[in-house]
Amino acid sequence: MKPAPFIRHVPKTLDEAVRILGAVAAEEGRVLAGGQSLVPIMAFRLAKPAHLVDINEIAELGRMSNDGKMLRIGALVRHAAFHKPVVDNPLGHLLAAVARAIAHYPIRLRGTFCGSLAHADPSAEWCLVAATLDATLVAHSTRGARTIAARDFFQGIMTTALAEDELLAEVRLPLLAPDTRFGFNKFSRRAGDFAMSAALAVYRLQDGKMTDVHLGVGGAEPSPRRIPEAEAVLAGQAPGDTVFRAAAEAAAQAVEAMEDHQTSADYRRDLVRAVVRRALEQSA
Amino acid sequence: MSTQSKGMSWVGRSIRRLEDPALVTGRGYFTGDLAAAHWVRFVRSPVAAGRIVKIGAPESAMVITAANLASVKPIAPLLHKFNYKPVAQPILADGVVRFVGEPVAAVVAASEQEAEDIADAVVLTIDETAAIVDGRAALAADAPQVHATVPGNVIVEGAHKTDGFDAAWARAHRIVTVEARSHRQNATPMEPRGGHAAYDAASGRITLTCATQMPHLMRTAIADLIGMAESDLRVIAPDVGGGFGQKMSLAAEYVLLVWLARQYKSSFAWREDRRENLIAGFHARDQYLTLAGAFDADAKLIALKADIIANVGAYSCFPTTAGIEPLMAMAELPGPYDFRHYECRARGVVTNTCTIAPYRGVSRPVNAFGLERLMDKAAAAFGLDVVEIRRRNLVDRFPYTTAYGLELDEASYRQTLDVVAKAIDLPAFRARQSEARAQGRHLGIGFATFCERTGYGTATFVERGMAITPGWETVVVSVDQSGLVEARIGASPHGQGLRTTLAQIVADELGISPDMIKVVHGDTDRAPYGWGTFASRSLVISGGATLIAARKVRTKLLKLASHILEAAPHDIVLEDGTAKVIGTDRSVPIATLAHEAHTQSHLYDGIEPGLTDEGFYDPPGTFSNACHVAIVEVDIETGQVKIEKFLVAEDAGRIINPMIADGQVHGGVAQGIGNALLEEIIYDDTGTILTASLADYLPPTARDVPEIDMHHLTTPSPNSVTEAKGLGEGGTIGAPAAVINAINDALVAFGVTIDEIPATPQRIRAALRNLSSPSPLWGAEKGGV
């Protein structure tokens, strides 16, 4: 349970971090933020980075801001920062509801929002949020900065669109309209465990009808994503048990459920059905 | 701590644990705290079965393999009965590997990090051979053979059939069957195993500090395997962070550490990490239990037929052997039930999996699971409620000889059942259950009534045919000239609170407060030879020996006091640290008596010098008992089970410290809940272990364990000088059965049966899905799934 030897770099600025990452990327260089996923993986020697670019002393990455349209979350913003709404907008409440489901308190004090996205565990709560809300991710490298849409970012289990020399410096989430309703539901064996399935339902309620429906499912497929089949069931309808069940069924049928030794695709679909309906019930 | 007020007993009081201040302030002393000149990392087999072709080590690295250990004997415990086939476990794999995680080589380096780096660079070339993982599959005629010496993979086989069984069976009004499957677990002590062996240049002795429950037996065994004088080895069990049986078995790793320290005259340490512990730190519970019960027309069990298949893993654990699980299962299966006819076949089967060793409860959690399912199924078949079926079948006269031949001493089987049944108000629950069902919520209740054989002495181990019979205990009680008392014990507590409970026993005998009494254990140089702490034995046996030793010291104190105070011994009481003549103001401090005993004994007729005496105890054993009740809610859409309520009525005879007794029950129930719902070591078909971290192997957290409603009954045991019975394992024995019965009760309307533990949400959903109409959700509204 001791990691393989590595060199730790401690840059003070984003530019310096990117420069170092560019230099060490080819030699298994990795970015260290909260370390809540990377460090255990290193302890098991499943990852053996030769260099760690520790960004914890880069003050500019700890910032969170909103310009009235977007919430910008810097690479060092920890999960615990979202325990209380960070913005007086449905988005703040949504993030607070999700944050409490992430692992356990000590982990939330260290782990970061952006780190969770860069790690891209299929079951990660923030990945589900980013996918459902069509987040924009900002990657920096010595070649400059580029933005990546969430739907392009997640490319499979722990696989993202980030190049090996790119640092995920910021995530931008759109603020939500005041008439937005949301619901989140997660299933795990124990409180605080990785989700075996999770759903996030977000829509506007206009004239008693659901519009601008975003229905995301995580933990069921290699990457979280919006489920258009379920969104189509809901769009333009009034919230209610029948339509929620139909959307849940549509989501369960739509997912290409991951299987493992314990968990069959059928079971995973059972869970998708349950978490989608429960997320929708919570939203209503 | 205040001194004892007149006439008040220390026994029976919930005094705070004397061991806790150090532990809760980070001042405990654990094996892993010791510095060492050299650190050891084991290279472990990545495959379940194969022949070692080559061990490729980096140049200049110090890598020990079986080739270096020609002079060290393999671990090969013996059992003289039950058709036991001895197997030998080399300290490091010798040409053949038999499970994933088996130590193949040991890397030695200056630091743990360096050792792990080197170990990472060791390349094992192994010709993989076919592995067999499942205990039942290992019985097939064409199954791969794990050991050439164990044809058919059956390492031990017990059989029992009462005279007249067939005739009784033929009288059956109804046969009820259960096929129970208990998957594999790991005891997961908070502190994994670890050892530190250091050479002392002055004496030439080795001191092995290790996380063990049996320091003396480790000394005996390791000295024997290495071929050294036992007196040249000192074994210390410092603070040990839980054992649960896993730390009573001899770790091959410890043998290697002692060998290294002796060979290279230096210090060598190994700290097991969690991954190693999960894959190689001994496993437990992997059994198939098939039961058929013959009931008469009054729902009275008249005969029980059982087939037990215990997967014992790759080797035979020392000292209890691979016989421990199947043979204890066979002997104790009849439990607290009154029936005269019993037929049982119990096989221990070797497989290419981690060796099975005792774990809190040993076979009885599976026994209770099977038998309590049988009772619930019989209740349903006869249209009786689950309390009534038990009431009709529990033993109610004592002593009672079971259908296997064990003698049950005085207990309270029916009373504990009645206490919880009353506390839970079964009719009220049934009403609530049907209301909930109407709303699509599925509640269930489960009872488990069981007995727990505890504090058994040498005779039991002889009956099992064990070459090593760890039954008795010795305790030496000394009063020093400052009036402080030391009780040196052969038991080796590692969380049970014996430093407190034994002090309470001594305190009452010698009339001093418990904080004046130091219980010394876990050091073979300081403690008398003993067997350590396991099998719910220590309070009964070591506590009994403590009482006997303390009484001898008390007798001497009274005799000495009678000389000094010029009064008859029976007119003298020992209290508040003094000997007093009843009804007078004449007294003498115990410290003075101790001083006199050490320095002035020549003045007193019949008083030998010193104030030390020894107690020895080897009891026949005593059965404690309990009834557990669980109320659960099953989420039929996800298969998730939530435990809403848990009740325990426990009878462990005379309770020395109620708080500690409750703690034992709480911890046991928590582990039992893990057993029932969460914890499972999983191998794939090739023998690769899939649960090698605590992200995959799921012990219950505080949020998974409800508050436990405890009720105590007290049936003192005539088989225990302290009148106390053991209760270390009861929690784990009853909880799985209660939880699984509750799950089945919740699902009764669906006609599904869950007879597999852990009852994971996947398993529960799979059972429900097999019944489902196209969409479970729509079905649920109509009362289906």
Domains of chain A with bracketed CATH: 7-54 (3.30.43.10), 59-174 (3.30.465.10), 180-283 (3.30.390.50)
Q: Read off the tokens for A275.
A: 């978490």
Q: How far apart are CA A46 and CA B683, in angstroms?
A: 19
Q: Give B112's contacts in chain A (Cβ within 8 Å).
A: 2
List of chain B residues whose C-beta atoms are within 8 Å of the C-beta of residue A261:
682, 684, 690
CA distance B113 to A3: 8
Q: Which of A186, A249, A267 to mutate to test the interface with B (most CBs of B within 10 A)?
A: A267
Contact criterion met (CB < 8 Å) for A189 and B695: no
Q: Chain A within 8 Å of B209 (Cβ-Cβ)?
A: no
- Give B 256-315 residues with CB within 8 A of chain A: 273-275
Q: A46 burial class (0-12, 13-18, 19+ CB within 10 angstroms)?
A: exposed
What six digits make up the tokens of B700?
A: 């219950």
H helix runs in B616-760, sequence order: 658-673, 730-746
Out of B684, B695, B775, closest to residue A249 by CB: B775
Residues lower than pLDDT 50 in chain A: none
Contact between chains at B113 and A271 (C-beta distance less than 8 A): no
Q: What's the pLDDT score for residue B780?
A: 39
* Nearest chain A residue (CA) to B766: A267
Query: Which tens digit of pLDDT belongs to each residue from A25-44?
Result: 998 899 999 999 999 999 99
Q: What pLDDT, on the 0 to 100 scale, is given for residue B101?
A: 98
What is the model's pLDDT at position B770? 84
Cβ–Cβ below 8 Å for B766 and A45: no
Task: Give pLDDT, residue B772.
Answer: 61
B385-439 per-position pLDDT tens digit: 999 999 999 999 999 999 999 999 999 999 999 999 999 999 999 999 999 999 9
Under-50 pLDDT residues of chain B: 1-5, 773-785
CB proximity list for B67: less than 8 A, separation 6 or greater = none
Spatial distance between the Cα atoms of A105 and B302, rounded to a whole number of angstroms: 55
What's the pLDDT at B465? 87
CA distances from B761 to A187, B448, B637 (A): 11, 22, 9
Distance, CA of B785 to CA of B782 (rounded, Å): 8
**Closest residue to B117, CB basis, from A4, A192, A274:** A4
Residues of B in contact with A107 (CB under 8 A): none
User: What per-residue confidence (pLDDT) applies to B7?
Assistant: 59
Q: What is the ipTM of this complex?
A: 0.96
Q: pLDDT, tens digit, for every residue of B764-778? A: 999 999 886 433 333
Q: What are phi and psi of B304, to 5 degrees?
A: -130, 135
| pLDDT for res B776 | 39
- Domains (ranges, CATH) in chain B? 20-28+472-617 (3.30.365.10), 34-129+193-271 (3.90.1170.50), 287-457+620-781 (3.30.365.10)
pLDDT at B784: 35
First-to-final CA distance of chain A = 46
CB contact under 8 A, A270 and B273: no
> For B762, which of A2, A248, A263 is closest by C-beta distance?
A263
Residue-level pLDDT at A134: 98
Which among B279, B681, B765, B771 is the top mutation candidate for probing chain A, defined by the most A β-carbons within 10 Å of its own β-carbon? B765
Cβ distance A187 to B695 less than 8 Å, yes or no, reads no
Chain B positions touching A187 (Cβ under 8 A) are 638, 640
| A262–B760 CB contact, under 8 Å | yes
Minimal CA separation from B702 to chain A, in Å: 10
- CA distances to A65, A118, B302, B401, B647 from B397, rounded to whole Å, are 76, 68, 17, 10, 25
Q: Containing H/E element for B313?
A: strand B301-313
C-alpha closest to that of B178 among B328, B47, B31, B290: B290
